[in-house]
Structure 1
């Protein structure tokens, strides 16, 4: 695997044809076509004239200088045209009956009215190519767009596009969108960056329907209904594909309904979705919702580095049997889904995280890794029988109050929970987990809490092959079920030596090895955080546990001086582990020194101290007698910070500060009942390493690692359980 290659070289290796950048498109200023921009004149006709002129010229940019462009009629987009709204420019909707009438649709019985008609919008187009909405201005419905079913001449959408290709929506803001701020159906090749949607007073933010090849970055979408929803309906008279979608670094919130949602319209199949670094704040239905109601197969959906708060239903996966689609569908399935590094604070005691398959379509092959969910709790003991379920309804309330405060699972196969946890804020009388009619359920290093009156902790009924291990001492009950705990399939990576020093133009070599439990399978090697002006290569690029690979890092004569923590990443199936190789270009770094430790928890600060030579047998805390019983060889001998266990509930942020004299790798060993802390950003990596102590009930601590430059290091609070320990190499 090569990194930091030039664009042309990379393109050649991948067989990509690099096209010359087109000449700058001409500008068509709407004021030159009669637009007043004074907020009172009707500027629609002038806008349409500018769009027509740009299209007739072979393409161009229709520019809106600062001003308010009142548009009480529909604007008609055309191919090869980009609308650019300058700072201070607003296209403003207006009340009345001047918008285009909804076109007839013989398939409108298969989806809601708003999904079936597209012409009744502020801006619409069909079968367009190479179009865009860019700039820093705003398109505002003005409170005039309809949130329900509009009368003829009224609009219920800001932007409505069907069967489009090569769409760019970046930088602008959409406000007060009626039923939809933006609805696209049957499109492909969509790019959006820095789009803001503020339609919390109305309904949906952005509905992406039957669309492929989508990249959304740096968005901020606030809706009242669904903030960002991926759907597939029958409005265009056929079952269409969906997929190859990436959503990164985006903030979402929803008032009444769903924040990040699949469905409910789910006619076509969905595959290849990647969601990373998403923040969700508020949702009265699902935070992360994924339903198949109309026969679709939903597969290969991946969620990573997501924080969720204030949602009624934290995570819901459901297969239903509504079958509202024109192709006589059966019951669909949901499969091959992963959740990594997810932190959720739920807001309802009734809608616990749920996996609800269907008797005719199970949910299969789902992995939760480092998924921590806290729910309000507060329920007393209740029946543990399966809750009611309306197979034709997708809402979280279509399933009765869950009999578990944590996970309720039914009709699901091959579900894994790794280094994950459920907890409650208020004492709850329900079990942590209940599963019915499922197979191959694994809970490995799973944190849970026990309510004072709960009948059991884990309950399995008619479940073939369940396993609860490395998860404390839970009470496990089963009826008609079988336990099957083999050796867990996992691995860890090690890099030798841990660091290398080279001069610019020289090459450094590291040996990468893998140790395993079980049979994780072949491990593909890759690297990121590679310094500029270097190339990294693995030989071989794939190993199995017990084998080694040589990682060669080649520098150039002009590679900048400095130290870099290269992340060496191994992937085996759905398991990803990492290690760090420190490369210093230039002079040998000074010996690592820690100094200047300060602790905001002043009442316990005296029990914190700087230490050297981490090893088994030494006291973990300054205020406890617990010692370390297991220390991985990768960190044995490291310099470290002995903390105070009584600081575990301190809330100051930062809690601790200290100084390192050179670039170094900092590990924070966190109680596995907690997992990755909310203050840890995406650069904190799960090393796969663990410390174990000699507490009465021994506790295990997962090591999360991040590289820091020389200077001050700040660490946040622990947040309960046993306090963390800090290691530095």
Structure 2
């Protein structure tokens, strides 16, 4: 990450802190505006009056004291900070008629969304702070909704409100609060700048699409020291519009549990993802991928660094995908784009215990795939250690994998399995796999590495687990120029490196597979 990026983010954070202090002179307790803390009285009008009065006074804090305050959509204004005190709860109404959609759009599955409990649009210097809770009552909303809305779940869920939406804002500080049980996405930040999210706790699951933190075309941002348990993706970067990229973002110290992905970029991917650094995170009990970087709608995904990640019981630790779905999510302002670019990504210092029960069976560690004519370029995986269940059979080693060029990008898209237990890579250029170690709990007759349609591949310092009866440790299919060096391990295999389909320019240096029948 460039020094000027760090400087810019530090300056931004200083500005946010200064602005927060500058607006803290006046406090507006919502009780003074008629709010009732009984958990059943609708307080939307009273809370909004407090927010409006705060803005008219030049800014300050709107205080939620101890108690349970039921509300529909409330709208943040310039220089207003919501302070939710300890034992205070902002409770979302279970009646969908109490919510507004101030910025409608279509998400990646084609559903119209955007309703929210707390929303800010085109304002500056705002915040949500405190030790209290915002509870969306998502499950109760769903139960009430389905009494009248009998459409399939995939069609009706979009009417349910997000918990927090920040739209085209500058100077945003979210700190310390607990976000619970959204009706849809828990928090969505769209085309906003100078954002700091810290010490946030999210417990949001029970209904469809309970993403934790959605970063959608935002810039100059820090996220740190958050604990997220989500029903859908825990931390996800999106670009639902081509007008503003996700750029200059630092993430650190997150604890992530999810029924989908831990860390994800895409699927909505129209504008670029660039200059993003994620470090020192723990991902656990995650059902659909640990780290997933996806650009399928025309975005340039580049200059990304993810490091010092620990995963425990994660299904399929990593997925990298460049595809050509080419969806449009804001049809009034955007048009269909051409296939994007995936380049200059570095993943390092990752240790993962993969779940034995995975989306693709038998499990695999890392999936990498571009599409014909569009290679993933200059991807480096360094200092990677993954423990896998194993169990692959001889016929699995030659599994044909669908291209799925225009499909929704998921691990299961490449099912029912891939032909390598460790790394499967297709349509790649400049792939570097350095200091990689796999552990197998059972014998696996698939190769540790399969590369198909690759150019300039480097495999260096791999530690291979013992396997017996496999056809090869590495298979290269239609690969041009590969350096394979410093391999160690034990096992009985027919070949060290199998070269097929016009593979050429392969160099093998210092391969020491003990007791093998390597050629």
TM-score by length of 1: 0.61
Return the match for 1:445 from 454, 461, 483. Answer: 461
Q: Distance in 2 between matches of 1:148 and 1:29?
A: 40
Secondary structure of the residue aligned to 1:438 is: strand
List per-residue Cα deviations over 1:629-677 (Å, max 9, x = no partner): xxxxxxxxxxxxxxxxxxxxxxxxxxxxxxxxxxxxxxxxxxxx9xxxx
Shift, 1:269, TM fit: 0.9
The CA distance in 2 between the partners of 1:151 and 1:422, in whole Å, is 41
The answer to whether the 8 Å contact 1:94/1:144 transfers is: no
Q: How does 1:627-638 map to 2 (within 5 A)?
A: none
- Superposed CA deviations along residues 403-460 of structure 1, whole A, max 9, x for unmatched, are 0111001111111122221222111111111101101111111112243221110111
Aligned position for 1:476 = 497
* Uncovered stretches (5+) of structure 2, i.e. residues with no partner: 1-6, 143-152, 329-333, 490-494
Do residues 230 (structure 1) and 237 (structure 2) align? yes
Q: Does 1:463 align with 2:503?
A: no
Alpha-carbon separation, structure 1, partners of 2:383 and 2:155: 43
Q: Retained in 2: the 8 A contact 1:192–1:215?
A: yes
Q: Do 1:148 and 1:156's aligned partners in 2 also have CA atoms closer than 8 Å? A: no
Query: 1:149 & 1:359 partners in 2: Cα distance?
Result: 33
The residue correspondences of 1:255-404 to structure 2 (distance < 5 A) are 255=259, 257-325=260-328, 326-347=334-355, 348=358, 349-382=362-395, 383-391=397-405, 392-400=407-415, 401-404=417-420
How far the C-alpha of 1:101 sits from its partner, in A, is: 4.4
In the TM superposition, 1:45-444 aligns within 5 A as: 45-71=45-71, 73-102=72-101, 108=106, 111-112=108-109, 116-118=112-114, 120-142=115-137, 143-146=139-142, 150=156, 155-202=160-207, 203-234=210-241, 238-255=242-259, 257-325=260-328, 326-347=334-355, 348=358, 349-382=362-395, 383-391=397-405, 392-400=407-415, 401-444=417-460
Determine the structure 2 residue equivalent to 1:42. Answer: 42
- Secondary structure (helix, strand or coil) at the match of 1:230 reads strand
User: Are 1:177 and 1:205, in contact at CA under 8 Å, matched by a contact in 2?
Assistant: no
How much is the aligned-residue C-alpha RMSD, in angstroms? 2.7
Asked whether the 8 Å contact 1:244–1:273 carries over to 2, the reply is yes
Contact 1:164/1:188 (<8 A) preserved:
yes
Q: Is the 8 A contact 1:35 1:46 kept in 2?
A: yes
Given that residues 424 and 449 in structure 2 are in contact (C-alpha distance below 8 angstroms), is that contact kept between their aligned partners in structure 1? yes
Which residue in 2 is equivalent to 1:648? Answer: none
**Structure possessing the higher radius of gyration over alpha carbons:** 1
| 8 A contact 1:99–1:155 mirrored in 2 | no
Greater RCO, CA 8 A, separation 6+? 2
Q: Which runs of 4+ in 1 moved over 6 A?
A: 18-21
What CA deviation, in whole Å up to 9, does each residue of 1:589-634 have, x standing for no partner?
Answer: xxxxxxxxxxxxxxxxxxxxxxxxxxxxxxxxxxxxxxxxxxxxxx
- 1:104 CA drift (Å): 8.2
Q: In 1, are the aligned partners of 2:84 and 2:131 still within 8 Å (CA)?
A: yes
The Cα offsets for residues 133-157 of structure 1, whole Å up to 9 and x where unpaired, read as 00000000123345865589x6421
State the shift of 1:33 in Å: 1.1
1:121 CA displacement: 1.3
Contact 1:239 1:327 (C-alpha < 8 Å) held by counterparts: no
Deviation at 1:307, TM superposition (A): 0.3
Aligned to 1:608: none
Q: Conserved in 2, the CA contact under 8 Å of 1:145 and 1:177?
A: no
Q: Deviations over 1:514-535 (max 9, x none)?
A: xxxxxxxxxxxxxxxxxxxxxx
Aligned-partner Cα distance in 2 for 1:335–1:696 = 36
| Contact in 2 for aligned 1:450/1:457 (Cα 8 Å) | no
More helix by share: 2
- Give, in angstroms, the shift of residue 192 of structure 1: 0.6
Query: How far apart in 2 are the matches of 1:155 and 1:60?
Result: 30
Structure 1 CA distance for aligned equivalents of residues 163 and 514 of structure 2 = 62
Residue 23 of structure 1, CA deviation = 6.7
